[in-house]
């Protein structure tokens, strides 16, 4: 079979479309999905921002004895909230662009994936840092060493679990890099 | 652009290019829920893209670019899983049309499915009759790179079609 014949087989579909569209169902589903996608992204971002902001401010407010490490932890949490706001603005601005080619779209997806890997790595270091601030804060305020040990173990366990999420982001980035290389070869 | 204008343009694009969307959907998805999910994703992306269209390229090039990007993004993300979760939850948007099952078309789609995502998009553009220049504009790669990939795809399709000839297709 020559390529022109293959192309004519392909073109034959136009005369008899294999599907028809239920316009009413489409309209309802599209509207629903648009709202849902926006809601999920908005809610998860806002939860992250308000949790860090709320927890940071609360720790600061509760620290009546002026424990240095508690101030550090509170400051760090507030900085994370600000970073969340920055990410949100970046996402909204990036979402307005539509005139990308396939390569451009992949580059954008790859940039986002790399950013996610960096952010997730930073998040893991964040767990260690907050854990250290917390344990030292307890030590400074005279809590039993055993409480410090348990709290420390909790943070170590959380760090271990966060490795799974980090692995997912890395695999996604590798997959995109592979796809990008295929486009260029 | 007002919402009414956007809706009007979108409806005319949908009516004109839905056949093209069906082909992309069949090239990237397999099961009923997947087909439905990807079709909806493409439609949403096309609808969103209407205000950004400045007429600098042909509408077909624009629509194809958006649809291919939506399909590639759908494959990369969790679209397939979401589609599988939705089985049996609601009515499908895509219904069976008037077209009869053609085994040669089925063979062609099976061949396209064996390609990686990038080659799939190039095969679709090639079969639709886009020029090298248009394909380069859609994909964001050079025309010579398009040429290399097309030669590879053509050779592959011709070689497998010859095997199919032996089985009477």
CB contact under 8 A, A183 and B139: yes
Tens-level pLDDT at each residue, chain A (185 residues): 677 887 787 877 776 666 777 777 777 776 676 666 556 556 767 887 888 899 889 888 887 777 888 888 889 889 988 988 888 887 777 666 645 678 877 787 777 778 778 878 878 888 888 888 888 888 888 888 888 889 889 999 999 998 988 888 888 888 888 888 877 76
Are A108 and A158 in a shared domain?
A: yes
Nearest-CA distance A157 → chain B (Å):
28
Q: Which residues of A111-125 are buried (b: 16+ CB within 10 A; e: fewer)?
A: ebbeebbeebeeebe
Are A133 and A91 in a shared domain?
A: no
Beta bridge partners of A19: B96
CB contact under 8 A, B18 and A21: yes
Are A43 and A86 in a shared domain?
A: yes
Are A111 and A176 in a shared domain?
A: yes
Q: Where are the alpha helices (DSSP H) in B29-102?
A: 32-49, 59-76, 79-85
Tens-level pLDDT at each residue, chain B (169 residues): 777 788 888 888 888 888 888 889 888 887 778 888 888 888 888 888 888 888 778 888 888 888 988 888 888 775 555 545 554 455 666 666 655 567 778 888 888 888 888 888 898 888 888 888 888 888 888 888 889 989 988 888 888 877 766 555 5
Residue B38 near residue B71, CB atoms below 8 Å: yes
What is the CATH topology of the domain spanning B100-169?
Arc Repressor Mutant, subunit A (1.10.10)
String of DSSP letters for A52-93: HHHHHHHHHHH-TT--HHHHHHHHHHHHHHHHHHHHHHHHHH
Q: Give the helix/strand (H/E) hosting B94.
A: strand B94-96
Mean pLDDT of chain A: 80
pLDDT of residue A157: 92
Q: Does A6 map to a domain?
A: no
Between CA A70 and CA B38 the distance in angstroms is 49
Beta bridge partners of B96: A19
Are A131 and A160 in a shared domain?
A: yes
Which one of A25, A29, A102 has the shortest CB-CB distance to B138? A102
Structural domain including A54 reads 21-96
Number of domains comprising chain A: 2
pTM of the predicted model over 0.80? no
Are A127 and A52 in a shared domain?
A: no
């Amino acid at each position: 079979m020559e390529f022109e014949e293959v192309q004519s087989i392909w073109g034959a579909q136009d005369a008899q479309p294999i599907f028809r569209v239920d316009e009413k169902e489409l309209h309802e589903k599209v509207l629903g999905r648009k709202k849902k996608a926006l809601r999920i992204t908005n809610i998860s971002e806002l939860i992250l921002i308000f949790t860090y902001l709320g927890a940071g401010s609360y720790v600061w407010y509760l620290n009546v004895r002026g424990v240095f490490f508690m101030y550090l932890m509170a400051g760090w949490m507030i900085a994370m909230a600000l970073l969340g706001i920055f990410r949100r603005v970046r996402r909204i601005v990036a979402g307005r662009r539509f005139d990308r080619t396939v390569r451009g779209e992949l580059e954008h997806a790859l940039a986002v994936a790399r950013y996610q890997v960096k952010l997730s790595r930073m998040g893991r270091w964040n767990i260690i840092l907050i854990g250290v601030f917390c344990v030292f804060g307890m030590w400074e305020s005279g809590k039993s060493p055993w409480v410090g040990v348990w709290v420390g173990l909790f943070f170590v366990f959380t760090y271990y679990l966060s490795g799974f999420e980090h692995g997912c982001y890395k695999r996604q980035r590798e997959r995109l890099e592979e796809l990008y290389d295929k486009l260029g070869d | 652009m007002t919402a009414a204008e956007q809706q009007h343009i979108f409806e005319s694009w949908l009516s004109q290019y839905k056949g093209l969307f069906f082909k992309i959907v069949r090239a990237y998805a397999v099961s009923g829920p997947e087909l439905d999910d990807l079709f909806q994703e493409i439609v949403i992306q096309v609808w969103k893209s209407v205000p950004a269209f400045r007429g600098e390229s042909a509408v077909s090039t624009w629509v194809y670019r958006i649809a291919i990007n939506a399909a590639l993004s759908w494959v990369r993300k969790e679209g397939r899983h979401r589609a599988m979760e939705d089985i049996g939850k609601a009515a499908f948007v895509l219904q069976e049309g008037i077209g009869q099952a053609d085994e040669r078309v089925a063979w062609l789609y099976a061949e396209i499915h064996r390609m990686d995502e990038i080659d799939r998009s190039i095969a679709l553009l090639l079969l639709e009759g886009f020029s090298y220049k248009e394909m380069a504009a859609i994909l964001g790669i050079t025309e010579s790179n398009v040429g290399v990939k097309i030669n590879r795809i053509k050779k592959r399709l011709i070689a497998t079609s010859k095997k199919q000839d032996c089985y009477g297709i």
